[in-house]
A and B are shown apart, each in its own frame.
Chain A
Amino acid sequence: MIDLKFHRVSKKYRIQRDLSPGATRTPFSGLRGLTGKYGDFWALKDVSFQVTRGETLGIIGPNGAGKSTILKLLSKITVPTSGEIMINGRLSALIEVGSGFHPELTGVENIYLSGSILGMRRREISDNLDSIIDFAGVRQFIDTPVKRYSSGMYVRLGFSIAAHLQPDVLLLDEVLAVGDEAFQAKCYDRILELKDRGTTIVFISHDLDAVEFLCDRALLLSNGEIASGGLPGDVIRRYQQESNSERLTGPKTYERGGARNPIRITRLTFLDDQEREVLHAFTGGPLIARVEFAATEPLGDLDFEVFYYSQDGKLHCQFSTSLGADAINVDRGEGALQFSCAELGLQPGVYYADATIERRTDGQEIDWQYRSALLRVEPGKRASGSFYVPHQWRITQQKDAAARAPYFVARHYSCEEPETTNDDSNLPEPVAEWDLIRLDNPRCASEQ
Chain B
Amino acid sequence: MATRLTSNAIADVVLPAEARRVTVIRSPSQSRFSIINSVFELARYRDLLYTLTMHRIKVRYKQSILGVSWAILQPVSMMIIFTTVFSLIARMPSDGVPYAIFAYVALLPWNSFSSSVTNATGGLVSHSQLVTKVYFPREILPISYVLAAQVDFLIASIVLASLMVYYRVPLTANALYAIPIIVVLIAFSLSIALICSATQVRFRDIGMATPLLLQLWMFATPIVYPTSAVPSRLRYVHLVNPMSPIIENFRQVILFAAAPDFASLGRSMLISGILLIASYMYFKRVEVTMADVI
Asked if B13 is at the interface of the complex by the 8 Å CB criterion, the answer is: yes
Once bound together, how far apart are the Cα atoms of A86 and B25, in whole Å? 6
Residue of B nearest to A1 (CB): B20
Whether the pair B291, A77 counts as a contact (CB closer than 8 A) is yes
The answer to whether B25 and A84 touch across the interface, beta carbons within 8 angstroms, is yes
**Interchain CB contact under 8 A, B23 and A91:** yes
- Assess the A76–B59 pair: CB atoms within 8 A: no
Query: Interface 1/0s, chain B 47-81, versus A by CB < 8 A?
Result: 11011100100110011000000000000000000
Within 8 A of A (CB), among B1-47: 1, 4-5, 7-13, 15, 20-28, 30, 45, 47
* Chain A, Cβ-Cβ closest to B127: A100
Q: What are some 11 contacts across the A-B interface (CB < 8 A)?
A: A13-B292, A77-B132, A84-B25, A85-B25, A87-B23, A93-B135, A102-B59, A109-B58, A119-B136, A135-B8, A166-B12
B8-A196 in contact (CB<8A): no
A164 touches B10 (CB 8 A): yes
A79 to B289, CA, bound (A): 7
B105-132, CB under 8 A of A: which get 1 and which 0? Answer: 0000000000000000000000001111
Contact A116 B47 (CB under 8 A): yes
Contact (Cβ within 8 A) B133 A99: yes
Q: Which residue of B lies closest to A89 (CB)?
A: B20
B179 interface residue, CB < 8 Å from A?
A: no
Contact of B134 among A77, A122, A192 (CB under 8 A): A77
Output the least CB separation between A394 and chain B (Å). Answer: 39
Interface size class of B (residues with CB under 8 A): 35 or more
**In the complex with contacts A113-B51, A134-B8, A163-B10, A118-B26 CB distance below 8 A:** no
Inter-chain CA distance A315–B30, complex, in Å, is 49
- The answer to whether B47 and A122 touch across the interface, beta carbons within 8 angstroms, is yes
Complex contact B4–A83 (CB within 8 A): no
Q: Are B25 and A73 in contact (CB under 8 A)?
A: yes
Q: A99-B129, A116-B52 are in contact. Are A189 and B11 (CB under 8 A)?
A: no
Q: Once the chains bind, are A79 and B50 in contact (CB under 8 Å)?
A: no
Q: Tell me the A138-192 residues at the B interface (CB within 8 Å).
A: 145, 163-164, 166, 168, 186, 189-190, 192
Main secondary structure of the interface of A (DSSP, over half): mixed
User: Roughly how many angstroms separate A131 CA and B9 CA in the complex, as a whole number?
Assistant: 8
Query: Are the CB atoms of B13 and A124 closer together than 8 Å?
Result: yes
CB within 8 A of B24: which of A84, A135, A137? A84
Q: In the bound complex, what is the Cα–Cα distance between A258 and B20 (angstroms)? A: 60
Does the CB pair A82–B27 fall under 8 Å?
A: yes
Which B residues touch A190, using CB under 8 A? 10
CA distance A30 to B206 in the complex (A): 13
- By a CB distance below 8 angstroms, the chain B residues around A189 are 4, 9
Q: Assess whether B135 is in contact with A113, with CB atoms less than 8 Å apart.
A: no
CB-CB under 8 A from A166, the residues of chain B are: 12-13, 15
Give the distance in Å from the alpha carbon of A189 to the alpha carbon of B131 in the complex.
29
| B154 CB-CB contact with A under 8 Å | no
> Cβ of A104 < 8 Å from any Cβ of B?
yes
What chain B residues lie within 8 Å of A109 (beta carbons)? 55, 58
Chain B residues contacting A352 (CB-CB under 8 Å) are none
B288 sits at the interface (CB 8 A): yes
Interface contacts beyond A78-B292, A193-B4: sample of 19 additional A-B pairs, CB < 8 Å, sorted by A: A30-B203, A73-B25, A76-B25, A76-B135, A79-B28, A80-B26, A83-B27, A84-B24, A86-B25, A90-B21, A95-B133, A105-B55, A112-B51, A113-B55, A116-B48, A116-B50, A119-B48, A127-B13, A197-B1
Closest CB-CB distance, A49 to chain B, in whole Å?
15
Give chain B nearest CB distance to A47 CB in angstroms.
13
CA distance A54 to B113 in the complex (A): 50
Q: Which one of A75, A113, A131, A197 contacts B11 once the chains associate, using CB atoms below 8 Å?
A: A131
Q: Which residue of B lies closest to A121 (CB)?
A: B47
**Which one of B27, B62, B134 contacts A99 once the chains associate, using CB atoms below 8 Å?**
B134
CA distance A163 to B133 in the complex (A): 17
For A, the interface residue count at a CB cutoff of 8 angstroms equals 58
A72 within 8 A of B: yes
Is B4 within 8 A of A84, CB to CB?
A: no
* Assembly CA distance A100 to B136 (angstroms): 12
Bound complex: CA A215 to CA B291 (Å): 29
A160: nearest chain-B partner, CB-CB? B10
Does A96 interact with chain B (Cβ within 8 Å)? yes
Q: Which residues of A contact B47 (CB under 8 A)?
A: 116, 120-122
Judging by beta carbons under 8 Å apart, are B20 and A90 in contact?
Answer: yes
Contact with B130, one of A76, A80, A99 (Cβ below 8 angstroms): A99
Task: Evaluate contact between A104 and B133: CB separation under 8 angstroms.
Answer: no
A122 & B51 in contact (Cβ 8 Å cutoff): yes
Contacting pair A102 B55 (CB below 8 A):
yes
In the docked arrangement, what's the CA distance between A75 and B25, Å? 10
Q: In chain A, what residue has the closest Cβ to B48?
A: A116
**Does A29 make an interface contact (CB < 8 A)?**
no
Interface residues of A in 320-369 (CB under 8 A from B): none
Residue interface mask A107-118, B partner, CB < 8 A = 1: 001001100111
Residue pair B133, A122 in contact (C-beta under 8 Å): no
- CB of B63 within 8 A of CB of A100, answer no
B20 touches A88 (CB 8 A): yes
A77 to B289, CA, bound (A): 9
A105 and B58 contact, CB distance less than 8 A:
yes
Q: Mark B174-210, 1 if CB is under 8 A from A, else 0.
A: 0000000000000000000000000000010100000
Closest Cβ neighbor of B63 among chain A residues: A104
Q: Is A392 interfacial (CB-CB < 8 Å)?
A: no
A113-B52, A117-B134, A131-B10 known; A104+B62 contact, CB < 8 A: yes
In the bound complex, CA of A13 to CA of B129 (Å): 19
Q: How far is the CA of A91 from the CA of B51 in the complex (A)?
A: 21
With A113-B51, A116-B52: A80-B25 Cβ-Cβ less than 8 Å: yes
Chain A residue numbers with a CB within 8 Å of B25 are 73, 76, 79-80, 84-87
Leading 7 A-B pairs by shortest Cβ distance:
A76-B135, A89-B20, A116-B48, A85-B25, A116-B51, A87-B23, A127-B13
Contacting residues, chain A, for B130 (C-beta < 8 A) = 99-100, 117
Q: Are A78 and B24 in contact (CB under 8 A)?
A: no
Measured CB to CB, the nearest residue on chain B to A6 is B25
A157 to chain B, nearest CB (A): 14
| Interface contact A80-B48, CB-CB below 8 Å | no
CA distance A72 to B132 in the complex (A): 8
In the assembled complex, which residues on chain A have CB atoms less than 8 Å from the CB atom of B292? Answer: 13, 78
Tell which of A77, A88, A137 touches B22, judged by Cβ atoms closer than 8 Å. Answer: A88
A333 to B89, CA, bound (A): 95
**In the complex the two chains form, what is the Cα distance from A87 to B21 in whole Å?**
8
Q: Mark B69-109, 1 if CB is under 8 A from A, else 0.
A: 00000000000000000000000000000000000000000
A73 to B27, CA, bound (A): 11
Per the bound structure, the CA–CA distance linking A169 and B131 in Å amounts to 21
Bound-state Cα–Cα, A168 to B20, Å: 8
